[in-house]
Amino acid sequence: MGTGMSKDADGSSHGSEEGEENLDHAGGQLYVSLKMENLQLKGELIPHVYGSVPLVGSWDSSKALSMERESASMWELSFVVPPNHETLDFKFLLKPKHSNAPCVVEEGPNRLLTGGTLQGESRLAVFKNGDEILECRVFIKADRVSPFDLAASWRAYQENLQPSTVRGIPDVSINSTPMVEAENGSSASLELDLEHYVVPAPSISANSALVYAANNAENPRFSNVDGPGNASFSYKDSVVSADRPATIKQMEVVIPDPSKIYSGSGMVESKSVGTFSPLQKQDGHRGLFVDRGVGSPRLVKSSSSSAFSSSLKLDTETKNSMPAAAGAVTAAAVADQMLGPKEDRHLAIVLVGLPARGKTFTAAKLTRYLRWLGHDTKHFNVGKYRRLKHGSNQSADFFRADNPEGMEARNEVAALAMDDMISWMQEGGQVGIFDATNSNRKRRNMLMKMAEGKCKIIFLETLCNDERIIERNIRLKIQQSPDYAEQPDFEAGLQDFKSRLVNYEKVYEPVEEGSYIKMIDMASGHGGQIQVNNISGYLPGRIVFFLVNTHLTPRPILLTRHGESRDNVRGRIGGDTVLSDAGEIYAKKLTNFVEKRLKSEKAASIWTSTLQRTIITASPIPGFPKIQWRALDEINAGVCDGMTYEEIKKNMPEEYGARKKDKLRYRYPRGESYLDVIQRLEPVIIELERQRAPVVVISHQAVLRALYAYFADRPLKEIPHIEVPLHTIIEIQMGVTGVQEKRYKLMD
């Protein structure tokens, strides 16, 4: 898992200088383990940690994070942070296990953790409990991990889920509610059709109707060029030798068919061969949640982590047992800071594949995901360039390999699109998605030649062998593509497109050069395979993991705020109050709505936060499992929790002004910002992408703004201002045609 470093109570450090230097490299992440040892510590006193963002986010002892018992005398709390994380300011305390007796806080100044190392002189943790003095040794260890380590360990953990609690509340708790009949015939009380409640979605909402994904790609900059003779780039001079040596950093990720995996199996990543393979469930294997607190996703460290290393042939750099990740993709959420330093090099994801293989859909989805995470990303669709320069009514003959005029025209617009993308990167862009067939080595070599010294290219090849999916995609293409907008005869358009496809198939050359990702039969959502070659760095790893977890299975996601709470009535932010009378009514109406909308969806689930106003809102809904996520908790208002905005304006005018000036980046004192919320929501997004059945998410305003922005592809700066009204359901329909939205207002 890479090099590590540790520091014990006598101040001695362990780990090579090279290892410490590597921690600063882009893409590195620190898996930090805090340990406390005392042979005399009684079982009634449980060690906890509390402190500032991002470790805990509160100096309230009631919100302290419990340390887990590792052995009879050793307690541990583990978490993941970027190497350049802000200083963690914290203290240890002892809390009684069963009584309401006061907590015992350690003596001395606060502890500071920077770069995985405790600052200042090392010291024992000293506690004065009445006349008794307890002294505990403190240990700190930091290991560098990669996104692949965390991704693989999450998959292993996912199949061995056993919820545990932190702060008395489950991090992710699953309540498998049995199927029961609705009491008193509640579903019958919704007499009107669901369409009665439909209200218009905001006009600026993206994907509110069926839109061809390529139309949303970047507009060409050459719109004032009249003909091919005026192109500023000559593709003929941009040929790179195809005789490059084969790369050796290869990995194959096999995505099993979920319907064929029994519940006792897991998935681990073998570092020696680079493949995901089944791992039999070990006796006593269980996962313990470790809550990293506000602003950060949580990590899991297995109590039997040796089960991982004993089953794998790890090399010397990865001999440490890998940590497990709770919430799907901790690797992605913690490795960089939102809108922080960018990758050292600009990144170009170049699509490769035959027509009707889902390239444009994949490009649009990946663009939306990276933008939401704060990476400046644009989608460049070569077909859009071709239509603008040569018209949209080109027949299949235009795409023949033995048509020199057509070949020159298509290579020309590809070069123009690539030139636009590189120019955009030189102006500050980070990730360009280059969407075209790029179906032969000569074209790909041209692109690599153009990119030399300017950006790193990763080819993303989409392969599909399912004739049913290909036929479906072809028909969608005829219905949506501007290439056939002027073709009144559907069958004629269908035959023309199939002829075009045959022309591409005759000369298609799979990717074998450079850095690449191959997605093989991933579209069905019933298994598949991803092959990875020569991929390194944090952001490419994040992209691979996103692609592993995405599919095209149509399903709705229902987003709604909890019913009105008593704090809503009082105008107070935060808190954890129960519902008002109106909120109780909404809970009943929501129950009726969900029962009718999802009456045939036996595999649906209800997701809530851990705050009681969402749990109470969901409680009347029968027949579906209810899952509580701490990541879905409302934005932490810190010291402002429980205040009204008028009180903040009066008593904390500087904070009020700072928030008004930049709501996206403003962080409440000892609380969170919207960017913090986005960071901790990424595991939820990945898990929503993985779901194949409907999900009802009952959460809070700030959280739903961030989730909605992901699906609607809204810019980060708009997130704090997105309208998510009370007592309204936003239905997001995900599927092969993209994302569509419908809103239902159940109460005024």
Catalytic residues: 435, 464, 562, 634
List CB contacts of 191: < 8 A, sequence separation 6 or more.
none
CB neighbour class for 489 (10 Å; exposed up to 12, middle 13-18, buried from 19): exposed
Lay out the sheet containing 299-302: strands in order across. Answer: 287-290, 299-302, 324-325
User: Crossing angle of helices 674-690/538-549, nearest 10°?
Assistant: 40
Taking the C-alpha atoms of residue 610 and residue 175, their distance in angstroms, rounded to an integer, is 13
User: Crossing angle of helices 147-158/538-549, nearest 10°?
Assistant: 30
**Helix H or strand E encompassing 368:** helix 359-372
444 closest CA partner among 244, 239, 245, 248: 239
Q: Is 320 helix (H, G, I), strand (E, B) or coil?
A: coil
112 closest CA partner among 68, 58, 35, 52: 52
List CB contacts of 348: < 8 A, sequence separation 6 or more.
421, 425, 431, 432, 434, 447, 451, 455, 456, 457, 458
DSSP string covering 495-553: HHHHHHHHHHHHH-----SSEEEEEES-TTSS-EEEEEES--SHHHHHHHHHHHH----
List CB contacts of 428: < 8 A, sequence separation 6 or more.
376
Taking the C-alpha atoms of residue 81 and residue 423, their distance in angstroms, rounded to an integer, is 34
On whether the CB atoms of residues 487 and 543 are closer than 8 A, the answer is no
Please state whether the peptide bond connecting residue 488 to the residue before it is cis, i.e. omega within 30 degrees of 0: no
CA angle 159, 164, 168 (to 5 degrees): 155
For 474, 620, 629, the CA distances from 623, given in Å and listed in that order, are 39, 10, 19
Taking the C-alpha atoms of residue 534 and residue 609, their distance in angstroms, rounded to an integer, is 40
List CB contacts of 56: < 8 A, sequence separation 6 or more.
49, 50, 63, 64, 65, 90, 293, 294
On whether the CB atoms of residues 244 and 514 are closer than 8 A, the answer is yes
419 closest CA partner among 407, 428, 432, 409: 432
On whether the CB atoms of residues 28 and 3 are closer than 8 A, the answer is no
Q: What amino acid is encoded at 351 in this protein?
A: L
569 closest CA partner among 561, 577, 560: 577
**Helix H or strand E encompassing 154:** helix 147-158
- The two three-digit tokens of residue 341, written as one number: 């330093």
- The two three-digit tokens of residue 141, written as one number: 């260890």
On whether the CB atoms of residues 162 and 266 are closer than 8 A, the answer is no
On whether the CB atoms of residues 118 and 111 are closer than 8 A, the answer is yes
